[in-house]
Amino acid sequence: MKAEFTAIIDKAPEGGYWAICPEIPGANGQGETIEEAKANLKEAIELILQDRREDFLRGLHADVIRDKVQIV
pLDDT at residue number 1: 55
Tally of domains within the chain: 1
For position 6, which CATH number holds?
3.30.160.250
pLDDT at residue number 2: 72
Residue span of the structural domain in which 35 resides: 1-72
Report which of 39, 58, 17 is spatially closest to residue 47, judged by C-alpha positions: 39
Q: What are phi and psi of 29, to 5 degrees?
A: -150, 165
Give the chain's largest Cα–Cα span.
Answer: 52
pLDDT at residue number 50: 95
- If one counts every other C-beta atom within 10 angstroms of the C-beta of residue 66, the result is 6
DSSP for 28-69, please give it: EEEESSHHHHHHHHHHHHHHHHHHHHHHHHTTS-TT------
What does each of the 72 residues of the chain score in pLDDT, given as a tens digit? 578 999 999 999 999 999 999 999 999 999 999 999 999 999 999 999 999 999 998 889 989 998 988 877
